[in-house]
C-alpha cells in the first residue's frame, strides 16, 4: 500500500513522543545527543519483539540455549577481541566550526556510488578534498586529517582513576557468549552444532547524528552464536540468512523492503559477512548482520586467557576450535523498522485524517482496548472485563472522550482491537469488537473475547 507522502522521520519522531512510544533521553535537561527513552507504549513493543526473538532463536531453534552475561568484562576480553586496537571510527574536525564528522559518512552523504568501507584513510581524505565535500554544519571545506577514535566507553573500577582501573562498557554482547562457550558446553553437555543466544545492552561512543533511534550511544543487541565444525559453516551461514528473513517478516516487515548487502571489505578473520537492510523512510540501511567469524574468536580467547578452548568430539575423538556463525540484531533498529513500516496517515471519507500504526497483533503494545460507551452506565462492567482479559495479555482501559476519539487514540498506538461495552453488554453479555485496520465491527459474547484475541495473536 502506498504511504501518505506527509510521512517523514520528523513526523514519526513527533508521533512517538506524543503517543508515549519514545521520548528524547533526559529531555528536561535539553536531552543527551543520540540517547532515547522508551515510554509506556514503546516498552511494550520492545518487550514483545525481544520475546519473539528469544522464541525464534533460543526456544524454537535446534540445540540453542541462552545466557545473560555481565556488561562489564575483564579488559583483556577487549584486547583479545581486537576492540581495543581497532574498534574505531575515522573522524575529521571542521577547523572552522569545530564540529566532528565521520569521514565515511561524509562520503556516503555525497555519493551513493562509492563505498567508503573499501577505502583507506588516505583515500578518503583525498576523495573529500577532490570532490570538495563541505562541512554539513557550516559549509566550509577545511577539515583536519582523519584520526581514528575508539568507540568504547571507558569507566573506572574502584575509587582510583589509574590506568590499571580502566574497564569498558561492552560495545557488543557477543563476547559474553564467546567467553562462556566452555561453561555452557560442559554444564549442559552440549554437542556441536549448538547455539547461544543473548539479549542485552551495548554501548558505543557514536558521534554521528543518529536518525532517531537508528544510531544511539546505548542500545540493545540480540545476538545468536552458532558453534559448529569447520566444513559445516557455509551451510549454517546460509541457514541464518534465511532464518533472519523469516524472523523479520514474522514481525510484519514486508519481504520487498528487506535486502541483503554483502560486505565488500571483510574483517581479516571473517569468511563471509552480510547485512540485512530495511527500507526506512530515509533509505535502505542495516538492521542486522550475519557473519561467518571462523574460529577467530575462540582462538583469540585461548591465546589471551591461556585456557584451552578446544571442543572434544565424543564420536571421532577429534579436538578442534569451533567456527562461529553469528546472527546479530539491533533491537532498537528493529523497533524503528516496525514503527516506520506501521506508521500511516489515512484520509477518511469525511476528509479527516487518522494516524495509525498497523502493527501485527502478535507484537502490538496492547492487544485490545476496553472502552465503556458511557462512563457512568458502563464502567463497572467494563472494569470487570478489563480485569479478566488482562490475565491473558496486555490490555488498556480508556474511558475519556467520545468513542470516536478513543478509537483514534488506539489506532495511533497500534492497538489492533477495541472492545466497546454498552447496554447490550449489560443485558445480553454481548460486546462490540472493532478492527483497527478495517474499522469493521463484530459482536461477540464476552466469554469468547479471550479466544478471539489469542487466535489473532497467533496469525
Alpha helices per DSSP H over 203-292: 233-250
Query: In the bound complex, what is the minimum distance in angstroms from residue 244's beta carbon to ligand GAP?
Result: 11
Helix (H, G, I), strand (E, B) or coil at 295: coil
Beta bridge partners, 432, equal 420, 443
Say whether residue 57 binds ligand GAP (CB under 6 A).
no
Say whether residue 332 binds ligand GAP (CB under 6 A).
yes
Residue position matching grid coordinates 452506565: 377
Give the one residue of 61, 64, 292, 328 binding ligand GAP; rule: CB under 6 A: 328
In 3D space, the residue among 96, 89, 100 whose CA is nearest the CA of residue 141 turns out to be 96
User: Which of 277/420 has CB closer to ligand GAP?
Assistant: 277
Give the one residue of 15, 170, 204, 381 binding ligand GAP; rule: CB under 6 A: 204
Say whether residue 333 binds ligand GAP (CB under 6 A).
yes
Size of the site for ligand GAP (CB under 6 A): 19
User: Which of 332/355 has CB closer to ligand GAP?
Assistant: 332
Binding residues among 238-267 for ligand GAP as defined by CB under 6 A: none
Binding residues among 166-195 for ligand GAP as defined by CB under 6 A: 172, 174
Q: 311-344: buried (b, 16+ CB within 10 Å) or exposed (e) per residue?
A: beeeeeeeeebbbbbbbbbbbbbbbbbbbbbbbb
User: Which of 37/353 has CB closer to ligand GAP?
Assistant: 37
Grid coordinates standing for 349? 471519507
Give the one residue of 221, 277, 292, 362 binding ligand GAP; rule: CB under 6 A: 221
Between helix 40-54 and helix 233-250 the angle, nearest 10°, is 140
**What is the chain's alpha carbon radius of gyration, rounded to the nearest angstrom?**
25
Give the one residue of 223, 297, 344, 355 binding ligand GAP; rule: CB under 6 A: 223
Alpha helices per DSSP H over 188-287: 233-250
Instruction: Report the run of H or E that residue 384 belongs to, with start and end.
Output: helix 375-389
Contact 396, 370 (CB under 8 A): yes
Q: Which range, of 35-43, 126-134, 218-226, 394-402, touches ligand GAP by CB under 6 A?
A: 218-226
Say whether residue 150 binds ligand GAP (CB under 6 A).
no
Binding residues among 10-49 for ligand GAP as defined by CB under 6 A: none
Between the CA of residue 29 and those of 25, 49, 300, 326, what are the distances in Å?
A: 9, 30, 43, 39
User: Which of 75/416 has CB closer to ligand GAP?
Assistant: 75
Please identify the residue of the shown chain whose CB is closest to the bound ligand GAP.
Answer: 330
Contact 34, 374 (CB under 8 A): no
Q: Which range, of 283-291, 360-368, 400-408, 446-454, touches ligand GAP by CB under 6 A?
A: 283-291
Backbone angles phi, psi at 285, to 5 degrees: -155, 165
Say whether residue 206 binds ligand GAP (CB under 6 A).
yes
Rounded CA separation 351/445 (Å)? 34
Say whether residue 330 binds ligand GAP (CB under 6 A).
yes
Say whether residue 434 binds ligand GAP (CB under 6 A).
no
User: Which of 212/311 has CB closer to ligand GAP?
Assistant: 212
Give the one residue of 143, 178, 219, 280 binding ligand GAP; rule: CB under 6 A: 219
DSSP state of 282: T
Provide the binding-site residues for ligand GAP, judged by CB under 6 A.
172, 174, 204, 206, 215-216, 219, 221, 223, 286-289, 326, 328-330, 332-333
Amino acid at each position: 500500500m502506498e504511504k501518505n507522502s506527509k510521512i517523514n522521520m520528523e513526523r514519526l519522531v513527533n508521533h512517538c513522543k506524543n503517543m508515549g512510544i519514545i521520548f528524547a533521553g533526559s529531555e528536561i535537561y535539553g536531552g543527551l545527543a543520540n540517547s532515547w527513552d522508551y515510554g509506556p507504549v514503546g516498552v511494550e513493543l520492545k518487550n514483545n519483539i525481544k520475546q519473539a526473538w528469544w522464541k525464534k532463536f533460543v526456544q524454537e531453534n535446534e540445540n540453542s540455549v541462552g545466557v545473560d552475561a555481565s556488561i562489564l568484562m575483564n579488559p583483556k576480553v577487549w584486547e583479545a577481541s581486537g576492540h581495543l586496537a581497532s574498534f574505531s571510527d575515522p573522524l575529521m574536525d571542521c577547523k572552522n566550526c569545530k564540529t566532528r564528522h565521520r569521514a565515511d559518512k561524509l562520503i556516503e552523504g555525497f555519493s551513493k556510488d562509492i563505498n567508503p568501507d573499501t577505502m583507506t584513510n588516505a583515500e578518503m581524505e583525498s576523495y573529500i578534498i577532490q570532490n570538495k565535500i563541505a562541512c554539513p554544519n557550516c559549509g566550509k571545506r577545511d577539515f583536519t586529517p582523519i584520526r581514528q577514535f575508539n568507540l568504547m566507553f571507558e569507566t573506572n573500577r574502584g575509587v582510583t582513576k589509574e590506568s590499571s582501573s580502566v574497564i569498558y562498557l561492552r560495545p557488543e554482547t557477543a563476547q559474553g557468549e564467546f567467553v562462556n562457550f566452555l561453561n555452557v558446553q560442559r554444564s549442559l553437555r552440549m554437542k556441536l552444532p549448538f547455539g547461544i543466544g543473548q539479549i542485552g545492552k551495548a554501548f558505543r561512543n557514536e558521534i554521528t547524528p543518529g536518525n532517531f533511534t537508528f544510531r544511539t550511544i546505548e542500545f540493545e543487541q540480540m545476538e545468536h552464536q552458532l558453534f559448529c565444525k569447520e566444513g559445516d559453516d557455509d551451510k549454517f551461514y546460509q541457514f541464518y540468512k534465511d532464518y533472519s528473513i523469516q524472523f523479520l517478516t514474522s514481525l510484519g516487515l514486508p519481504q520487498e523492503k528487506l535486502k541483503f548487502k554483502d560486505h565488500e571489505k571483510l574483517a581479516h578473520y571473517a569468511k563471509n559477512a552480510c547485512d540485512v537492510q530495511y527500507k526506512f523512510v530515509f533509505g535502505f540501511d542495516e538492521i542486522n548482520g550475519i557473519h561467518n567469524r571462523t574460529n577467530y574468536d575462540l582462538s583469540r580467547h585461548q591465546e589471551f586467557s591461556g585456557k584451552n578452548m578446544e571442543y572434544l568430539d565424543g564420536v571421532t575423538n577429534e579436538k578442534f576450535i569451533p567456527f562461529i556463525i553469528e546472527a546479530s540484531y539491533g533491537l532498537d533498529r528493529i523497533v524503528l523498522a516496525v514503527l516506520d513500516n506501521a506508521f500511516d496517515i489515512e484520509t477518511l471519507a469525511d476528509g479527516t485524517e487518522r494516524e495509525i500504526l498497523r502493527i501485527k497483533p502478535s507484537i502490538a503494545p496492547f492487544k485490545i482496548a476496553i472502552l465503556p460507551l458511557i462512563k457512568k452506565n458502563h464502567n463497572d462492567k467494563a472494569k470487570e472485563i478489563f480485569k479478566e482479559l488482562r490475565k491473558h495479555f496486555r490490555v488498556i482501559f480508556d474511558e475519556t472522550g467520545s468513542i470516536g476519539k478513543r478509537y483514534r487514540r488506539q489506532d495511533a498506538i497500534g492497538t489492533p482491537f477495541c472492545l466497546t461495552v454498552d447496554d447490550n453488554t449489560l443485558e445480553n453479555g454481548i460486546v462490540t469488537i472493532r478492527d483497527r485496520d478495517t474499522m469493521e465491527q463484530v459482536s461477540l459474547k464476552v466469554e469468547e473475547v479471550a479466544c478471539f484475541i489469542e487466535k489473532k495473536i497467533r496469525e
